[in-house]
Amino acid sequence: MSQTETSYFMRRFTSLTCALALTVAAGPVFAQTQTGPTLDLGQPVSEGPQLGERYSKQTYDDWEMACIKTEEETDPCSMLQILTDPDGNPMAEFSLFRLQEGGQAVAGATVIVPLETLLPAQLTVSVDGGAGKRYNYTFCNPIGCIAQIGFTQDDVDSFKRGAKAIVSIVPAPAPDQRINLELSLKGFTAAYDVVDVVEN
């Protein structure tokens, strides 16, 4: 892939995924009237997140404990990290949670990648240069394409021992190329020990 093609692809990825790290509250839209331009009437300021909004509860080094505001006494949370390109632009979202005991998978993750990802090439995750594992994508929506994957106890142990993982995706416009995104494992153990357990 030429430098021009690479630059175009990175711009496309960035434009498709820049919303991954942001939670935007939608407000009312006022149509322009004949009496003048559209005026911003403001919105009441409230403390804390609104229902359905994602917020950061705590940070464990490179991992964020991201929670969704609900009406329950305790909000559901998962471990979150935004993966970036070499220029610091958001490229993917990696959200991890623990699972109830009894199944082969002890943890699960939702990984969101840009829409222009080659799905048959699958998603690859490897730790500290070791042999990686490939995972299928589950579905795509306007935000991006999603892989819902499970991790065994051995996988989790390797995350706890490791320094960084590499999440690899293949761009559809350049199927002979592979984009490697760094997933820091600094703070993984501390965050994993307190993250919510989700029912299988």
Q: pLDDT tens-digit profile of 29-61?
A: 333 444 556 888 776 665 777 777 777 888 999
pLDDT of residue 46: 59
Assign 3-class secondary structure to 26-62: CCCCCCCECCECCCCCCCCCCCCCCCCCEEEEEEECC
Alpha helices in the chain (DSSP H): 3-17, 153-161, 188-192
Residue 168: alpha-carbon gap to chain centroid: 14
Query: How far apart are the C-alpha atoms of 109 and 189, rounded to whole Å?
Result: 15
**Residues contacting 129, CB < 8 A, separation 6+:** none
Phi and psi torsions of 41, nearest 5°: -85, -5
For 152, the token pair is 């065994």
Residue 15 neighbours by CB under 8 Å, 6+ apart:
none
Judge whether residue 9 has pLDDT over 70: no
Residue 198 has pLDDT above 90, yes or no: no
Q: Which of 108, 90, 91, 88 is nearest to 99 (CA)?
A: 108
Task: Give 178 or 26, the one with higher predicted confidence.
Answer: 178
Which tens digit of pLDDT belongs to each residue from 106-150?
A: 999 999 999 999 999 999 999 998 889 999 999 999 999 999 999
Q: Which pLDDT band, with edges at 50, 70 and 90, does 27 fall under?
A: very low
Tens digits of residue pLDDT in 81-115? 999 988 888 999 999 999 988 789 999 999 999 99
Q: Domains in the chain, start-ordered, CATH in brackets?
A: 3-17+52-198 (2.60.40.1880)
How do residues 162-187 score in pLDDT, each as one tens digit? 999 999 999 999 999 999 999 999 99
Report which of 85, 53, 63 is spatially closest to residue 188, judged by C-alpha positions.
Answer: 63
Q: What is the pLDDT of residue 36?
A: 58
Q: Given this model, what pLDDT does residue 200 score?
A: 62
Q: Sign of torsion, CA 117 122 126 132?
A: negative
Helices in 116-187 by DSSP H: which ranges?
Answer: 153-161
Are 153 and 106 in contact, with CB atoms under 8 Å apart? yes
